[in-house]
Amino acid sequence: MAENVIHVRGTRASIMQVLRQLPAACQGDVAIAQQASQELMARVGMAALRRIRSAFVVKSRGGTDDCGESWQPLRKSTIAYSRRYPGVPRPPVRAKDSPSWMLTEKQRKRWWTLYKTFSGVAPAGAGYHAVGANRGWAAARAWLALRAEFGSGVKTLMSEYGDTQVDILRDTGLLLNSLSPGVETQPSGGGGAASVPQVPNQVFRVGHGEVIVGTNRKWAAAHHNGIPGRLPQRRLWAAPGKWPRAWWNDLLATARDGLIEIAIFMIQRRSAA
C-alpha cells in the first residue's frame, strides 16, 4: 500500500551556509563531514517540529498561530456525535438505538410511535440512518412532541455535548503526537550515526543538506488539504514561505549550536589522536 505522506522540507539559505562550513570544521574528513551534516539536519528537523507542534496546539484551541493561520471551528454536530466521551459507545454501536442512544427505552418507543404517526417512513433501528431516509419533517415533529411530554427528561448527544469545548483534531492525541519532536537515539556531537527520533506515524528523513518532517497518520492529508464540500481545510502547518523570521532564526541557531559542538568534538578528536 502506498505511503500517504505529507511533508515539509526544512532548509533555508542561511542554514545551508552553516552546513557549508562543515568541511573546514572536519578538515577534509568526508565521512565525518557527511555524518555531521546529517546530525545537524536532524537537529534542525526537531526544531521545526517544536514550532509546528506549538502552532498546532494554538490552532486547535481556536487561536491564530505565528504564521497567521487558524482553523475553522468544529460544528456542534461533529462535537456531539464524533468525539469520544466517557461511557458513550462509538457510532456503530449507537446506531441500533436510533434516534438517540441517550433516550430511555420508554422515550425511544414513544418517539418511534410519534414518528410513524407523522408519516415517517424510515424503518426502526439502524435503518433510520440510511442515506435518503425521509426523516426531516416527521422527525422534527416527533422530537417536539416527545419534549412536550417528557420535558427536560429528554436527553440527546446534541443537548448534552454539542456545546462542549474541545480542541480541534485532538480527539485521540495521536495526530499531534506524530508531529511532536522525539528523543535522539544516538549521542550528538559528530559521534555515531545521525540522531533520528522514533515517534509513531511520524515522517522524519534526513538527507543530503535537508530534512523532511511530517506525518503519515490516517486522514492527516485530508485535513491538511481539505475535501471540498465535505471537510474544511485545516493546514497542519503553514507553507515554509509563510514561516516568520523567528522560526527561521530558531532553526539557524539550532544549526549553529550544532556546528559549535562538532568543532569541539573535532578538537577533542585531534587531541586524542
Q: What is the largest CA-CA distance in the chain?
A: 93
Q: Which residues contact 53 (CB under 8 A, 6 or more apart)?
A: 176, 179, 180, 181
Q: What integer pLDDT is reported at residue 27 of this predicted model?
A: 55
DSSP state of 26: T
Would you list the domain boundaries of the chain? 6-71+169-272, 76-161
In total, the chain counts a number of residues equal to 273
Three-state SS at 6? strand
DSSP state of 86: T
Q: What integer pLDDT is reported at residue 2 of this predicted model?
A: 44
Q: The pTM is what? A: 0.79
| Distance between CA atoms of residues 58 and 48, nearest Å | 16
Q: What integer pLDDT is reported at residue 195 of this predicted model?
A: 55
Measured from the Cβ of residue 57, the count of other Cβ atoms closer than 10 Å reads 14
pLDDT, one tens digit for every residue, the chain (273 residues): 345 566 656 556 666 666 666 555 555 566 666 777 788 888 899 999 999 999 999 999 999 999 999 999 999 999 999 999 999 999 989 988 999 999 999 999 999 999 888 877 655 555 554 544 556 788 889 999 999 999 999 999 999 999 999 999 999 999 999 999 975 544 444 444 445 667 899 999 988 778 899 999 999 999 999 999 999 999 999 999 999 999 999 999 998 888 777 777 666 666 665
Q: What integer pLDDT is reported at residue 192 of this predicted model?
A: 43
